């Protein structure tokens, strides 16, 4: 019998998207009964967890300590069983560049179930069919805690959605600068007006060495059958699939088949589902930048003052984010950089914060790439 468990992924270590890991699950015994024999808060014998997936209890010490102790003992991965009832499981916060194994959190109930499976093989990985925050049919889950929470229950998205969404029941410090899938919710209840009075018009454009992304706006995004077109030089227009439709008025054209330095022309075509009439947007010409890269320079200057200005470089259009952590691994601030463009940029991560003097960590992510760098604040 195969049993699936929902997990909350750690912000540190190897992500599950890097590939699945299989091994026998082992309940860790750190030799110190008080307050918990299975919390992995004490150092473990080297090699004692070699080739195994460690199961530990939450509590007593931080997630970083638990996972690092298990990694030093040879564990392939770590599962943290929650010590309080709740569903779905939250992620594991913290920053430690020396941790290279994946780790996840499971609910109290699932943790108890896993403890009855000690010795059996488990596999940690991402699902190719299920989406975080959705059911098996891809429908968004609503927030339904027990007991009922007035003003939040049912009217907000479930907290299992990853990344965090605007209409979740709490304000998160890593929300996107866009309105994410909440745009569709606004459209469903009639809050979204057509972006422009014309049929379709191009808007924000981002190009990098991993592709081109163009936003188009239309009052008939849901009334036509849309096609994305691309042309190189004097070639004929070629179809490159259908654009992504967001809400009632936004269409996203994406093209990953590009080379640095190449120049491409794009347009959207639509067939009116009522009249059958064909129409096209205006043509957008895009030249892909050359020699773009992905880099995190750190604070400029370093040490920094209260204005913690950080320099970084983005080389593509993939989802991107920059975050600030303290030495305890707690996220202090997170900013969504998706769609901000390619090239070298700076951002003031200290804006609106009263940072004490000390060492912090900056984490930059672009797609599946991650960079972490320490910075020093000297007030």
pLDDT digits (tens, 9 = 90+) for 175-213: 766 677 776 676 666 665 543 333 677 888 888 777 898
Write phi, then psi, for 360 (nearest 5 degrees).
-130, 170
Please give the domain boundaries of the chain with CATH numbers for all domains.
8-124 (3.50.30.30), 128-172 (no CATH), 201-287 (2.60.40.10), 295-377 (2.60.40.3080)
d(C-alpha 220, C-alpha 269), whole Å: 12
d(C-alpha 331, C-alpha 310), whole Å: 16
Contact predicate 72/44, CB 8 Å: yes
Asked which of 35-39, 179-183, 187-191, 249-253 is least confident by mean pLDDT, the reply is 187-191
Beta-ladder partners of 263: 287
Helix (H, G, I), strand (E, B) or coil at 269: strand
- Please determine, for residue 42, whether its predicted confidence score (pLDDT) is greater than 90: yes
Contact predicate 357/377, CB 8 Å: yes
Asked which of 100-114, 193-207, 284-298, 350-364 is least confident by mean pLDDT, the reply is 193-207
List all residues 6 or more positions away from 319 whose beta carbon is below 8 Å from its beta carbon. 336, 338, 365, 366, 367
Q: What is the CA radius of gyration of the chain?
A: 24
Return the structure tokens found at 59.
Answer: 């509590």
d(C-alpha 325, C-alpha 10), whole Å: 14
d(C-alpha 175, C-alpha 119), whole Å: 40
> In the prediction, which pLDDT does 198 show?
37
Indicate the average pLDDT of the chain. 85
Q: pTM above 0.85?
A: no
> In the prediction, which pLDDT does 295 show?
87
DSSP tag of 68: H
Omega into 116 within 30° of 0, i.e. cis? no
Compute the average pLDDT of residues 26-36: 93
């Amino acid at each position: 019998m195969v049993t699936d468990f929902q997990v909350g992924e750690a912000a540190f270590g190897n992500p599950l998207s890097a590939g699945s890991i299989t091994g026998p699950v082992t309940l860790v015994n750190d030799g110190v009964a008080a307050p918990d024999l299975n919390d992995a808060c004490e150092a473990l014998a080297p090699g004692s967890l070699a080739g195994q997936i460690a199961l530990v209890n939450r509590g007593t010490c931080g997630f970083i300590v638990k996972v690092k102790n298990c990694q030093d003992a040879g564990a392939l991965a770590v599962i943290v069983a929650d010590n309080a009832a709740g569903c779905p499981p939250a992620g594991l916060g913290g920053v430690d560049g020396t941790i290279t194994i994946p780790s996840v959190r499971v609910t109290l109930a699932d943790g108890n179930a896993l403890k009855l499976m000690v010795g059996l093989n488990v596999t940690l990985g991402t699902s190719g069919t299920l989406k975080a925050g959705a059911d098996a049919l891809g429908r968004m889950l609503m927030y339904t805690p027990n007991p009922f929470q007035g003003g939040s229950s049912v009217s907000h998205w479930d907290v299992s959605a990853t990344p965090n969404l605007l209409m979740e029941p709490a304000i998160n410090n890593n929300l996107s600068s866009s309105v994410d899938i909440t745009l569709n919710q606004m459209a469903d209840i009639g809050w979204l007006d057509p972006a422009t009075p014309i049929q379709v018009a191009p808007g924000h454009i981002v190009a990098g060495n991993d592709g081109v992304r163009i936003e188009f706006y239309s009052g008939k995004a849901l009334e036509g059958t849309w096609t994305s077109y691309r042309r190189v030089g004097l070639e004929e227009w070629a179809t490159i699939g259908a654009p992504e439709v967001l809400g009632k008025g936004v269409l996203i054209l994406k093209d990953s088949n590009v080379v640095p330095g190449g120049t491409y022309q794009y347009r959207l075509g639509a067939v009116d589902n009522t009249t059958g009439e064909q129409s096209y947007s205006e043509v957008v010409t895009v030249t892909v930048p050359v020699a773009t890269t992905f880099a995190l320079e750190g604070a400029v200057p370093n040490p920094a003052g209260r204005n913690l200005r950080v320099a970084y470089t983005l080389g593509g259009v993939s989802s991107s984010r920059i975050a600030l952590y303290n030495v305890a691994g707690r996220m202090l601030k997170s900013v969504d950089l998706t769609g901000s463009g390619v090239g070298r940029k700076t951002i003031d991560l200290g804006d609106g914060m009263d940072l004490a003097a000390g060492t912090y960590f900056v984490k930059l992510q672009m797609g599946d790439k991650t960079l972490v760098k320490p910075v020093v604040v000297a007030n």
